[in-house]
Amino acid sequence: MTATDPDDPRVAEALTALRQIVHSLHRASRSAERAHGVSGAQLFVLQLLAEAPAPSLNALAERTLTHQSSVSVVVSRLVARGLVERSRSPEDGRRIELRLSDSGRDLLTETPAAMQIRLIESMRALPARDLRNLATLLKQVVTMMGVSGEPSGFLFDDSEA
């Protein structure tokens, strides 16, 4: 069997759905970059920090559902642009707190919701059993493709290429 065998129309349906998700994420990231000079990943982090400051980089990584090293790269770029501020925690001087700067807040008044937020909200809206099945099936596809050891940072963040 080859990739072009019309063995099951559900393969085409699944691929079409994946293409629509990937395309919408890519298009939204390009749009954010053109209109506001931030990547889709950066916009996602900014919007999460608008909801609440992060008491640590690890806490922000948990909220973004990505690895701490991926968040660190994105946050460093946002800090360099003056959109996010880092400060030492008053409770624990070893910990760095993250919050939006006034410039970051101003930028967000002009932007739509990050597509990553819409994707996560859509997944969370699935019944628990369906979400569990989706996760299991996607992990199986990743394993069968032989890419389970690949890094999985932010979607469409070129810093990890």
Per-position DSSP letters for 42-65, written without gaps between them: HHHHHHHHHH--BSSHHHHHHHHT
Taking a C-beta distance cutoff of 8 angstroms, is the pair 108, 122 a contact? no
Domain parsing of the chain, residue ranges: 10-148
The band of 124, judged by pLDDT with boundaries at 50, 70 and 90, is very high
Find residue 54's DSSP bridge partners.
Answer: 98
Residues with Cβ within 8 Å of residue 68, at least 6 apart in sequence: 57, 58, 61
pLDDT at residue 160, as a whole number: 45
| Topology at the third CATH level for domain 10-148 | Arc Repressor Mutant, subunit A (1.10.10)
Q: Which of 29-33, 68-72, 103-107, 108-112 has the highest mean pLDDT?
A: 103-107
Mean pLDDT lowest among 61-75, 123-137, 139-153? 139-153
DSSP letter at 113 equals P
Residues with Cβ within 8 Å of residue 150, at least 6 apart in sequence: none
